[in-house]
Amino acid sequence: MTTALDALLAPDAPADLARLTDRLATQATDADLLDVAHRTIDSPYGPLLAAATPAGLVRLAFALEDHGVVLDRLAAQISPRVLASSRSLDPVARQLEEYFAGRRQAFDLSLDLRLARGFRRQVLDHLREVPYGHTATYTAIAAASGSPRAVRAVGTACATNPIPIVVPCHRIVRTDGTIGQYLGGTATKRALLAMEEAA
């Protein structure tokens, strides 16, 4: 007699588990019980955690940030109703894949920027205006945000950007041309800038 445990340990258990998780997420969404859906997406820079609310992509996190910690924070900041759901984040995964392959220069995704408030939110809006293959300085973003002296605050907004890559804080550099820090590590920032420059 086959038990439920035997079924989970079967060779196709990962596929079955993924289907079951997606079905559970769909039912939770239909019943208005899912506030944050998440999945892991492979990238040239390691696994990325993508999380979305019904309003849009709310978080994209590098492995350096510790995905478990990120999910705990989302549960505390948005809602404890957080569930893995690959299907609902398929458009995010597809567009990121296209970006990394050099086939996409702009993202067409709904974004939920509730994790950034006040000046940091203003900075994120200006970051989205820096085009693919170009850079801007922290000083220029501070001026565009209406606070020319707030260069350090721009740096903090970039360092706490909840949706890196999609909201391209990697395109912001120091006035002397050096790249500055990056949430995904300076090597990742250099690689993203080089990839965009080569396109």
Give SS3 for 179.
coil
Cβ–Cβ < 8 Å for 63, 74: no
Q: Can you spell out the DSSP letters for 14-52? A: HHHHHHHHHHHHHHHHHTT--SEEEEEE--TTS-EEEEE
Burial of 195 (0-12, 13-18, 19+ CB in 10 A): middle
Torsion of CA 25, 14, 44, 111, to 10 degrees: 0
Q: What angle do CA 33, 74, 183 make, to 5 degrees?
A: 145
| Alpha carbon 69 to chain centroid, angstroms | 14
Cβ–Cβ < 8 Å for 137, 175: yes
Q: Which residues are catalytic?
A: 169
